[in-house]
A and B are shown apart, each in its own frame.
Chain A
Amino acid sequence: MSRDLNGTADFERRLHDLLEEGVQRVGGRARSRLNQARHAALADAARRRGWLLPMRAAAWLRLHLLWMPAGGAVAAAVLVAFVLWPHAAPQGYPAADTNQTTVEDLDLIADRDGMDIMESGDGQFYAWAMAQTDQGERPAGAPAGRGKGHGGQNAGSDMDRNPG
Chain B
Amino acid sequence: MPAASHGDVDLSDSSSNARNRALSQFLAGVEVRAFKIAQTALRHEDDALDAVQDAMLQLARAYSDRPEGEWKPLFYRILENRIRDMQRRRTVRNRVMSWLPFRSDPDEEEPDPIAEAASDEPLPMRRLEIAEAMSALEKALGDLPRRQQQAFLLRTLEGLDVAQTARAMGCSEGSVKTHYFRALQTLRAQLGELYL
A interface residues with partner B (beta carbon < 8 Å) = 7-8, 10-12, 14-16, 18-23, 25-31, 33-35, 37-38, 40-42, 44-46, 48-49, 53, 56-57, 60, 64
**A42 & B24 in contact (Cβ 8 Å cutoff):** yes
Encoded as 1 (CB less than 8 Å from any A CB) or 0, chain B from 1 to 41 comes to 00000111101000010011001100110011101100000
Determine the distance from Cα of A7 to Cα of B196 in the docked complex, in whole angstroms.
8
Asked if A45 contacts B64 (CB within 8 A), the reply is yes
Chain B's nearest CB lies how many Å from the CB of A25?
A: 8
The main secondary structure of chain B at its interface with chain A is: helix
Chain B residues within CB distance 8 Å of chain A: 6-9, 11, 16, 19-20, 23-24, 27-28, 31-33, 35-36, 45, 49, 52-53, 56-57, 59-61, 64, 112, 114-117, 130, 133-134, 137-138, 153, 156-157, 184, 187-188, 192, 195-196
Q: In the complex, are the beta carbons of B57 and A15 less than 8 A apart?
A: no
A sample of 16 cross-chain residue pairs with beta-carbon separation below 8 angstroms, ordered by A number, consists of: A12-B184, A15-B195, A18-B134, A18-B137, A19-B153, A23-B157, A25-B115, A29-B115, A37-B49, A38-B28, A40-B53, A44-B57, A45-B64, A49-B16, A53-B11, A60-B6
Given A14-B195, A15-B137, A26-B35: A46 in contact with B20 (beta carbons within 8 A): yes
Which chain A residue has the least Cβ–Cβ distance from B135?
A: A22
Q: Is the CB of B156 within 8 A of A60?
A: no
* Cα-based distance from A26 to B39 in the complex (angstroms): 11
